[in-house]
A and B are shown apart, each in its own frame.
Chain A
Amino acid sequence: MSANPIGWDWRTCKVTGLTVDRSAERLIVFNAVTAVLYLAFGGTLALLIALTRWPKMHLISNAEWFYRLVGAHGAAMLIFWILFFEVAGLLFGGSILLSRRLTAPKMGWLAYVMMLVGSLGVTYTMLSGQATVMFTAYPPLKASALFYGMMLLYAVGALVAVLHFLVNIVTARLQGQVRTLPLFTFALLVAAILALFTLVSGTLAILPAFLWRLGVIDHVDPAAYRLLFWGFGHGAQQVNLAAMIGIWYALASLTMGAKPINEGLSRFAFVLYVLFIQLGSMHHILVDPGLSSWARGLNASYFMYAAVMGSMIHAFTIPASMEVAARERGHTKGLFGWLKSAPWGQPAFAAMIISFVMFGVLGGISGVIMGGIQLNMIAHNTLIVPAHFHMTVVAGTTLAFMGMTYILVPLMVRRDLFLPGWARLQPYLYGLGMLLFGIGMGLAGHYGVPRRHWDITFPSMTQLSGGVYDGANIHWSLALMALGATIAVTAGAMYIVVAAGTVFIGRKNDVPNIGHVEASAVTPTDPNAPVHHPKGFEAPGTMMLATGFLVLFILLYGWSWFELSKVSWIIK
């Protein structure tokens, strides 16, 4: 890279050759370690609540505590683990990856402190029973003013972190340190732009609730809150999506030497997210703040499908670029010889590919189906909903993040990966646990079991309940869910041991062993090397797999309409 910089604390990475700003490095380690601590906390709660939802075990015998812990699990995981990690990613993409120093490290620390205090405050209010309102906190359910205040502090802190990233990218550009951003950084930029909109929307939802609890205003419109809250809640998932896909691309390059087969197309697919997701939430707010428009949601369809198109493009270009890279290295046998040659024993690769498949097949298809206006009726607020988002944000995003750390953490702290054997096994175990968990929970939801519910056996209400959820199919599904949860939480704990062990007690090593990494991922190649286009398909194996995916999608979609048609009520 450039000549040795003067006037700031830096080092050269002996593996990648990147110039590393030490202040960025510290900030990244703080954010990442905080994220992992929340993951450990949220994972512990996950096991407790999952074992409670299995009626045979019904672990937590106090309903109030069950609801507190469900709320705290949602917040610790979806908001704290994910966002602290993303901030670490933004810091990395905005400085180290570009071999430049942070423009305003103080801004990064300010964001960190606000987010830390805010998240601790939210966790405290939730555990102490001041805020047993779930992380959605729909008014007029009441939490203490402190809860909303801490939520706001956290949201504003996260906004500062996002702005900090944008400041870095803009100054890098102005100072001529970058021209076109690497695709990975571009994905982060897309995530950051989406995050700006969602965090503002979230702040606008929480602020009136805060003022209401302070007594400044006497009413919060619950439907308007839902609208704004989901402007945040749903948009935030698009942030996670963009970050996760950026990581898929990065890991495909690092572990397989993949280069996007058409960089322009990949970037176009990211731009679809920015355009259509935001139009989506803006439109809801502009036309009608009431429930009717959001329920009818005629418009939901076309932006949603435009965004879905973006994801379907990535679903093809990522494996295709891996296939092309492997074929170029000589793994040309048959349709799938390239797949056989992949580094299945490299934890970063395993995590990436499992995340990719589970996100697409389980999370993606279920999400598109539930997002259909009429089909939503047989899914809304049943266990299908958490089943769906655990496939996206846990099997997908969380596992992708884990994969990224298997490479980045050793490089960052210059220590060998702790317990590499555990790391190799971990993604498979986590994926297996999540698979069983998702199938069990999804089936239970399909049979009508509600989400966020302490006791579906209604022991004190038998005259009314009529044993509505006593069927053997429901009990088996929930048992499967509990089994999957136990496996997944075990694998989650293994991850935490490996990650924390690497940071604190891994063997010091300037050239840490991170498994096989393709040199072409980080060393520029000859820009003039022409791309060789074969006559037939470039990635026939991927074409085959992608077509199979589409067929499965069509079958499940058709089946869902069939299920809807079986409802024995005419609903007009």
Chain B
Amino acid sequence: MKTVNKAIPSVDGLGIMLGRPAFTDDLADVSSLIVKVLRSPHAFARIKSINKEKALNLSGVEMVLTHQDFPRKPFTRAGQGYPEPSPHDKFVLDEYVRYVGDEVAAVVAKDEETAEAALALLDVEYDILEPVLNYQEAMDHKAVVHPEPEIHEMFPIGFEPKRNIAAAYGMDFGNLDDAFSESDVIIEETFTTQAQAHVMMEPHTVNARLDVQNRLIIYSSTQTPFHVRRILSQALAIPMHKIRVIKPRVGGGFGGKQAIHGELLVAWVTYKTGKPAKMVYTRKEVFESSYTRHPMTLKIKLGATKSGKLKAIDWYVLSNTGAYGEHALTVFMVAGSKVLPLYNKVDAARFHGHVVYTNHTPAGAYRGYGAIQGNFALESAVDILCEKLQIDPIVFRRKNMILEGETSPVFEIMGEGTEGTAMNMETCKLDYCLDKGLELIDWKNKYPRVPLENGKIKSVGMALAMQGSGIPYIDMGAATIKLNDDGFYNLTVGATDIGQGSDTILAQIAAETLDVPIEKVVVYSSDTDLTPFDVGAYASSTTFVSGNAVYKAARHMREMIVKEAAEILDVDTSEIVFGGDVILVKNSEATISMRDLSNRITYNEDQKQLTATSSYYGTKSPPPFMAGFIEIDIDPETGEIDIVDYVSVVDCGVPINIKLAQGQVEGGIVQGLGMAHFEVVKSSSKGQLITNDLLKYKIPTSADIPKLTTAFAKSYEDSGPYGAKSVGEIGIDTPPAALANAVYNALGVRITDLPITSEKIILALQNKKNKESH
């Protein structure tokens, strides 16, 4: 390998550091109208009236939009393939507002100040309704979040809005009763996970203009440009061929930009006025009016024999989707489908639950996508079970975890909103990940705890995890490669670089296949007019799905070049040796350089354009695996935790770019540590968001993270491009359970409610003391 599996710097890193215009708002038309949204101060209300007179009379105000201006057609902003597994339960603007921060009306003005002033002049009368704020009580609550008759599911997802149920699902296999009655030890525990905010550094932003063909040109900071085009067309009844969505550089997404945000309003304004328009979310809007991770309650029951065989898993999950059902079903299902197969040898398992509506900021896609919640519950429960069994949790995991060549019935039963796809683990190096991780963290000298001289206690904890590589039979990615004169290539992909480095790794795959240095592959993503289709950046699909498409396109291009060369050199194609910059003939002096070949077919003889387009969808989704180990020093007086190191040993197949893959893992770990330790979206008893800025919602800083140790297992996934699986999400999954297990190993208290803060630890210690003294 010359280019793949190397640490190649990002193709665009320097230009971005130098501040060249790259991000959505850098590319906004300077004369853009400013679109601002009046947001609901109430958790649940019906809008009785909106008086727009005063706002419209303000000089510089172009228009005021209310629910009366839009077709009453429900859709979902989820940003998924079509038909979506999310309910169509959202209107562009509605006469109901369903959470504090929901859209009431929009003003359009010549500048920020005027738009702000116009917002203040809108007179709205509300009929305030009783909100549903506690998701434990949402089901069959007397207040119904979505009473409107037009909303619907696209196919059966268990949608029962009259009961505040956005989605429901259940599956089981084996005989659960038998498996539990044959178990010597049974444990039952309930875990809760919080809403987490994405906090991508670039706020959601979009701008639009009309071009000379009177088409809508939309620049959007999105993970899913093709879905944005489709949803805009469907929701606004604008013909799809009139819309072009360009995704420039995106300043982080983490799932938060899979759904659509200001696109609908901004597109509408430009479509109606013919004038450029834009919207940039304030940080408060990002917190209050975009999405969070789904909070969940996970009740889990495990049964095992004395000898340490895991017999049964019974699992009920209640998930809170907030005011709208974006990703309601699928995130909840992934809590089971990408966690249960870790322990594939159980006799029986059940996974079931409900996703409920409440009057909170909606939950949506977020890196980990349910797996992080499920992982916290199962990997904490396994340690609890081992304690009761008096079996070393490492020994237990070794005995029960999934191994290479094996499968799990879960793969076939559970897909994302539909049935799943049976598959064998062609690559699964969990055994290596576990052993290597134990060594790197020095487990044997630290487990379970070491008292330190300064009074603190050192301890370690761990968890296993898996994710997926795209959604089989659903996610499709495509790539086009064009040969230019002078012998270099353009690679255009619909795959969406949102900062994870997909442009670079896809260019690496093309360069490797075409045997040229990466500079000779000019990569561009993504633009619904210019690049081929791709579902976008989600579900850990890019390396595997889009990468396979690039590999296929590059192979195709090679074949075309070989054919041209054979004609020019007047030999059979089987005689041609493709050497990247030069084409040779076996056992002969005859050669032609790629420069000469491309110039010749461009300008001189038998002129033509060589272009190869290929697409790919998975027939399986080979999971990346990892073992995560945390080392902490904890103060038993204050409960304060110092994170000393986090060891990740990852099987993502062959990392296409070693450093960028490491960056994906480490970025995920730190985001997961934030969730494990302190990040929490909090709202008042009235449903007002308290954590609406970066002072109240803290994310990890450079001072919080002294050390991360990341290693990769040697692994080659045959179905992946150059042996690769995906790596975008796996890093985020293990920190919550690993930290909970480490805290238990240090102090003997089990925190089942995320985040694991010092306050909760102290409280648990006091409870434990009280119990012991009784």
Decide whether A and B are members of one complex.
Answer: no
Chain B positions within 8 Å of A, measured between CB atoms, are: none
Chain A positions within 8 Å of B, measured between CB atoms, are: none
